């Protein structure tokens, strides 16, 4: 078991930060290639005109989940040394709801806003400014939110733990769900576009 | 030519994309005259979404393998806010647990010497390089025909504020929770995916006038 190379203590060495920059650059490259630096394209996901966000996101999740499974099954990667985001049921459900409203209002998410801003879109820059303000507001309100923020902790809980299913079975289910979703996405887009053409919109 | 930033509404000649001349010169004030309204207004068409998605999946996998952690974005905003607050009011920042956890160790490691800060700087660089090479750099405010630049910027900023609060509450955003948590099969990541998408679809009609 040699991987991951670094432990999950944040690598703040020069080499670690250079790696972060390189990995981020590849991420930003892919986001821009997909068209996700464009608020108009991203927002179209939520009006069912263009389901690129869904396609990109679920092919990414399925690819990485499959990769993690195989690397760990082959014994090359020690999954217990990969940092798994901790679960806090209530704040994450509420946070997700709040975030979703902000995302469709902004037409961008935090990462894609950086791509939008870097490629000249001033609305991307406005989203970044808003994010900074929102994060600041959250910090100022933190003393009165803290109890809720720390409520319903479940630690690094995963779906296989929760459902008492083998890891590989859950990965297969995620991949199957993605493939089914891709087929559904094509059908939804065709219908919405046909209807838009009829309305003449 | 293709790497120049085109000002608002100026047709951009894209030398590489002659087979896609239908989209060239489409101004943002008139976005609805192509059937697929989300093709790029300038430059070459976007990549196949599945190819881009597999690419992101491999980048995410590389992050797990190299750094033992996934991708993120909102955490870098927290670091920036913590650094800014600490610069003006150091004791205030240190006394607030929501900021203090992003202040580094206070000795050799400052708040901006952080994995996510460098990763997000990379995101901007990589996005810029990709757009430059594809002729998609474009100085613009993206919006539909029925809203002015100011109105769109107000929505963008307001949405940013709401996302900032939501991401902090959820301990991550589309990168740190949906992509990273989703790939690791973390329960919180999947809760985030379901709730964020559900809320976006439910609230979508309220903000549709930005685009139609």
Residue B122 near residue A19 (C-beta atoms within 8 A) = no
Q: Is the dihedral of CA B76, B77, B79, B83 positive or negative?
A: positive
Contact list, A186 vs chain B (CB under 8 Å): none
Helices (H) and strands (E) in chain B, counts: 8, 0
> Residues 6 or more apart from B155 whose CB is under 8 A from it?
A105, A106, A107, B147, B207, B210
Local confidence band at B14 (pLDDT 50, 70, 90 cut-offs): very low
B115-133 and B74-88 are packed helices; what angle lies between their axes, rounded to 10 degrees?
120
Model confidence at A162: pLDDT above 90: yes
Can you give the pLDDT at residue B106? 63
Model pTM?
0.90
What is the rounded average pLDDT for all residues in chain B? 85
Of A3, A28, A97, the CB nearest to B195: A97
Interface touch B38/A35, C-beta < 8 Å: yes
Residue A121 near residue B127 (C-beta atoms within 8 A) = no
Can you give the pLDDT at residue B142? 95
pLDDT in tens, B75-113: 999 999 999 999 999 999 999 999 999 998 766 678 888
How do beta strands A87-88 and A153-155 pair?
antiparallel
Instruction: Please state, in angstroms and as integers, the Cα–Cα distance from residue B139 to each residue in A27, A166, A200, following that order.
Output: 22, 50, 30
What is the C-alpha separation between B73 and A28, in angstroms, rounded? 11
Mean pLDDT of B23-32: 41
What is the C-alpha separation between B212 and B144, in angstroms, rounded? 5
Mean pLDDT of A36-48: 96
Interface touch B118/A17, C-beta < 8 Å: yes
> Residues 6 or more apart from B101 whose CB is under 8 A from it?
none
Mean pLDDT of A133-140: 98
Q: Which tokens hold the place of B123?
A: 């995101």
Local confidence band at A7 (pLDDT 50, 70, 90 cut-offs): low
Those of residues 130-189 in A touching chain B at CB distance below 8 A are 130-140, 142-143, 145-146, 149, 154, 156-162, 167, 170-171, 174, 182
Maximum average pLDDT range among A5-9, A123-127, B1-5: A123-127
Q: Which of A58, A65, A20 is nearest to B186 (CA)?
A: A65
Q: How many CA atoms lie within 13 Å of B135's alpha carbon, on the beta-carbon side? A: 20
Can you give the pLDDT at residue B107? 64
Model confidence at B22: pLDDT above 60: no
What is the C-alpha separation between B27 and A175, in angstroms, rounded? 39
| Residue bearing tokens 């887009």 | A189
| Residue bearing tokens 């405010």 | B141
**Of residues B117 and A201, more confidently modeled:** B117
Can you give the pLDDT at residue A15? 84
- Min distance B116 CA to chain A CA atoms (Å): 7
Residue A181 near residue A54 (C-beta atoms within 8 A) = yes
> Does the beta carbon of A23 lie under 8 angstroms from any beta carbon of chain B?
yes
Local confidence band at B149 (pLDDT 50, 70, 90 cut-offs): very high
- Establish whether this prediction's ipTM goes over 0.85: yes
What is the rounded average pLDDT for all residues in chain A? 94
> Alpha-carbon dihedral of residues A171, A173, A179, A185, nearest 10 degrees?
-120
Q: Which tokens hold the place of B116?
A: 């996510």
Contact list, A149 vs chain B (CB under 8 Å): 169
What is the C-alpha separation between A134 and A109, in angstroms, rounded? 13
* Three-state DSSP class for residue A177: helix
**Of residues A193 and A52, more confidently modeled:** A52
Please report, for chain A, the start and end positions of each structural domain, with discontinuous segments joined by +. Answer: 36-200
Please report, for chain B, the start and end positions of each structural domain, with discontinuous segments joined by +. Answer: 2-208
List the beta bridge partners of residue B90. none
Instruction: Please state, in angstroms and as integers, the Cα–Cα distance from residue B181 to each residue in A5, A102, B30, B170, B200, following that order.
Output: 20, 20, 39, 12, 19
Can you give the pLDDT at residue B173? 96
Instruction: Please state, in angstroms and as integers, the Cα–Cα distance from residue B188 to each residue in A5, A159, A170, B1, B2, following that order.
Output: 26, 9, 15, 46, 42
Model confidence at B17: pLDDT above 90: no
Residue B163 near residue B173 (C-beta atoms within 8 A) = yes
Q: Which helix (H) or strand (E) holds A154?
A: strand A153-155
pLDDT in tens, A66-102: 999 999 999 999 999 999 999 999 999 999 999 999 9
Q: Which of A193, A136, A150 is nearest to B80 (CA)?
A: A136
Is residue B162 packed enough to be buried (19+ CB in 10 Å), middle (13-18) or exposed (0-12)? buried
Question: How close are the terminal C-alpha atoms of chain B, in Å?
Answer: 31
Is residue A81 packed enough to be buried (19+ CB in 10 Å), middle (13-18) or exposed (0-12)? middle
Model confidence at B71: pLDDT above 80: yes
Question: How close are the terminal C-alpha atoms of chain A, in Å?
Answer: 57
Can you give the pLDDT at residue B125? 98
């Amino acid at each position: 078991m040699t991987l991951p190379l670094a432990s999950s203590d944040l690598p703040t060495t020069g080499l670690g930060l250079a790696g972060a920059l390189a990995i981020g650059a590849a991420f930003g490259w892919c986001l821009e290639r997909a068209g996700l630096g464009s608020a108009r394209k991203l927002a179209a996901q939520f009006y069912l005109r263009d389901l690129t966000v869904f396609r990109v996101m679920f092919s990414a999740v399925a690819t990485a989940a499959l990769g993690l499974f195989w690397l760990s099954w082959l014994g090359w990667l020690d999954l217990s040394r990969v940092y798994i985001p901790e679960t806090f049921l209530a704040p994450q459900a509420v946070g997700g709801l709040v975030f979703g409203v902000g995302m469709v209002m902004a037409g961008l998410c935090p990462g894609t806003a950086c791509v939008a801003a870097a490629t000249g879109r001033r609305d991307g820059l406005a989203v970044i400014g808003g994010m900074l303000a929102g994060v600041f507001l959250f910090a100022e309100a933190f003393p009165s939110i803290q109890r809720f923020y720390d409520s319903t902790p479940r630690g690094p809980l995963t779906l296989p733990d929760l459902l008492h299913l083998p890891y590989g079975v859950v990965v297969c289910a995620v991949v199957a769900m993605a493939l089914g979703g891709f087929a559904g996405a094509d059908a939804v887009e065709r219908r919405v576009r046909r209807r838009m053409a009829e309305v003449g919109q | 030519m293709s790497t120049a930033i085109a000002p608002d509404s100026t047709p951009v000649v894209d030398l590489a994309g002659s087979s896609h001349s239908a989209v060239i010169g489409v101004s943002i004030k008139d976005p609805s005259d192509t059937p697929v309204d989300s093709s790029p207004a300038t430059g070459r068409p976007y990549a196949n979404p599945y190819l881009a998605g597999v690419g992101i999946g491999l980048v995410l996998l590389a992050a797990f393998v190299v750094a033992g952690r996934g991708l993120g974005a909102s955490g870098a905003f927290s670091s920036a806010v913590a650094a800014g607050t600490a610069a003006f009011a150091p004791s205030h920042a240190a006394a607030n647990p929501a900021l203090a956890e992003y202040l580094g160790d206070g000795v050799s490691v400052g708040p901006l010497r952080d994995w996510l800060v460098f990763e997000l700087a990379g995101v901007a660089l990589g996005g810029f390089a990709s757009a430059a090479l594809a002729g998609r750099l474009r100085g613009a405010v993206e919006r539909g025909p029925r809203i002015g630049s100011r109105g769109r910027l107000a929505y963008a900023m307001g949405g940013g504020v709401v996302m900032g609060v939501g991401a902090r509450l959820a301990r991550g955003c589309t990168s740190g929770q949906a992509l990273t948590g989703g790939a690791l099969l973390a329960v919180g990541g999947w809760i985030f995916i379901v709730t964020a998408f559900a809320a976006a679809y439910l609230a979508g009609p309220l903000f549709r006038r930005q685009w139609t």
